[in-house]
């Protein structure tokens, strides 16, 4: 092959390595050719896209639910032969670098995200066409961060002050020997990535069994494909409190820490949504294990770096049969 290397990469615009609406996205396409090579065209595209896909059951049949939406698709033609299709453009032997610049559309778009059955991606794709049957492609994703003021709210009028208010809930569970009352108070509803929160649990154990409070972070991913909806849930054990003996009461205070790598809550995508709850349960010989769920909104940390660094995309070639 005359083409030894073909890649696309971009320049970071901040310490987090993320891009947002209205940012300038600059980069370069690098081509290393083993000899002078005739090409028809060299193009680069910047794309924003959301796609969901999962399989469901409709009676005895398996049904594919799939949908996608493009937020934007920008294209730059770097090289193009003078007569379309005649391969008159030449990429000379050795290393050639072709810079490009895009301005990301200044519209409301969700942050990059990868869930169980869907992805929100922003990418650069370069394509070099040598002939109608010989195409080379290379692609790289860049991390995008929304500028939406309320990505965490189903309704944009949700006041930010609500996220700082204390939350309380009570639940009573009956069993043969008595009842257990569980009172849970969380410091607030909204926390940033990596932030800690005080949670107070009062247990009034009026039964003859010891109970132990456990703390869980519950994640709920919602996927929508046209008229179909599916949900994926998961739980992370935050920690376990001290045991409360039979016929006693105790108030337990725990400090819970939000993992910094956890994706923020968002509702500003029509096909994927992400939400969280704090769940407190009691184990023991109860007829029914009581649990309390409090809403939890995870906000993006202002100084959290992006784990994906700028890098070159690898390339692949495709031969097209006539």
Where do the structural domains in the chain lie, given as residue ranges?
A: 3-145+308-319, 160-299
pLDDT of residue 312: 42
Task: Tell me: pLDDT of 142 over 70.
Answer: yes
pLDDT of residue 314: 45
In whole angstroms, what is the distance from residue 91 CA to residue 36 CA? 6
Helix (H, G, I), strand (E, B) or coil at 163: helix
> How many Cα atoms are found within 13 Å in the side-chain-facing hemisphere of 20?
9
Which backbone phi and psi does 109 adopt, to 5 degrees?
Answer: -140, 150
**pLDDT interval class at 302 (50, 70, 90):** low
- Residue among 165, 164, 167, 203 at smallest CA distance from 185: 167
pLDDT of residue 88: 72
> Could you tell me if 294 and 165 are in contact, meaning their C-beta atoms sit under 8 angstroms apart?
no
* CATH class, 3-145+308-319 region: mainly beta
What kind and span of H or E run contains 49? strand 41-58
Tens digit of each residue's pLDDT (9 = 90 or more) over 13-49: 999 899 999 999 999 999 999 999 889 999 999 999 9
- CB atoms under 10 Å from CB of 148, counted, come to 19
CATH of domain 160-299: 2.60.40.640
Helix (H, G, I), strand (E, B) or coil at 248: strand
Torsion-angle region of residue 45: left (phi > 0), alpha (psi -120 to 50) or beta? beta
> Could you tell me if 105 and 294 are in contact, meaning their C-beta atoms sit under 8 angstroms apart?
no
Q: Is 24 exposed, middle or buried, given 0-12, 13-18 or 19+ CB atoms closer than 10 A? A: exposed
pLDDT of residue 139: 97
**pLDDT interval class at 239 (50, 70, 90):** confident
- pLDDT (average), residues 242-261: 91
pLDDT of residue 166: 86
- Please name the residue that has the structure tokens 């961060």: 145
- Please name the residue that has the structure tokens 């309390």: 292
Which backbone phi and psi does 145 adopt, to 5 degrees?
Answer: -125, 125
In whole angstroms, what is the distance from residue 113 CA to residue 232 CA? 15
Same fold, 3-145+308-319 and 160-299: yes
> Could you tell me if 299 and 266 are in contact, meaning their C-beta atoms sit under 8 angstroms apart?
no
**pLDDT interval class at 308 (50, 70, 90):** very low
Q: Which of 52-61, 113-122, 130-139, 158-167 has the lowest mean pLDDT?
A: 158-167
- The pTM is what? 0.86
Task: Tell me: pLDDT of 158 over 70.
Answer: no
- Residue among 257, 224, 247, 6 at smallest CA distance from 118: 224
Neighbour order of strands in the sheet with 24-33? 3-10, 24-33, 94-103
More confident residue, 303 or 24: 24
Cα dihedral 192→309→19→46 (10° resolution): -140
Neighbour order of strands in the sheet with 228-240? 190-192, 291-299, 272-283, 212-225, 228-240
Q: Which of 59-68, 75-84, 141-150, 185-194 has the lowest mean pLDDT?
A: 75-84
Tens digit of each residue's pLDDT (9 = 90 or more) over 176-206: 678 899 999 998 889 999 999 899 999 999 9
Which backbone phi and psi does 27 adopt, to 5 degrees?
Answer: -170, -160
- Please name the residue that has the structure tokens 């959290």: 304
């Amino acid at each position: 092959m005359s083409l030894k290397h073909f890649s696309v990469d971009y320049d970071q615009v901040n310490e987090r390595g993320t891009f947002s609406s209205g940012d300038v996205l600059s980069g370069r396409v690098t081509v290393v050719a083993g000899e002078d090579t005739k090409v028809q065209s060299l193009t680069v595209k910047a794309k924003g896209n959301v796609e969901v896909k999962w399989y469901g059951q409709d009676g005895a049949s398996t049904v594919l639910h799939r949908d996608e939406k493009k937020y934007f698709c920008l294209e730059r033609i770097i090289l193009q032969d003078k007569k379309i299709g005649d391969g008159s453009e030449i990429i000379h032997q050795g290393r050639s670098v072709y810079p490009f610049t895009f301005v990301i559309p200044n519209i409301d778009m969700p942050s990059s995200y990868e869930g169980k059955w869907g992805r929100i991606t922003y990418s650069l794709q370069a394509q070099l066409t040598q002939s109608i049957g010989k195409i080379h492609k290379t692609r790289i994703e860049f991390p995008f961060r929304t500028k939406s003021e309320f990505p965490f709210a189903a309704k944009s009028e949700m006041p930010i002050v609500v996220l700082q208010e204390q939350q309380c809930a009570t639940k009573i569970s009956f069993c043969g020997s008595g009842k257990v009352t569980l009172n849970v108070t969380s410091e607030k509803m909204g926390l940033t990535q990596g932030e800690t929160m005080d949670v107070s649990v009062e247990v009034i154990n009026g039964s003859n069994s010891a109970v132990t409070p456990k703390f869980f972070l519950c994640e709920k991913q919602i996927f929508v494909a046209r008229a179909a909806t599916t949900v994926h849930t998961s739980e992370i054990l935050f920690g376990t409190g001290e045991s409360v003996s039979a016929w006693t009461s105790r108030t337990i205070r725990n400090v819970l820490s939000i993992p910094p790598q956890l994706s923020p809550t968002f509702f500003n995508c029509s096909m994927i949504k992400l939400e969280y709850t704090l769940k407190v349960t009691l184990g023991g010989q109860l007829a029914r294990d009581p649990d309390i769920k409090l809403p939890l909104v995870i906000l993006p940390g202002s100084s959290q770096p992006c784990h994906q660094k700028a890098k070159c995309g690898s390339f692949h070639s495709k031969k097209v049969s006539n």
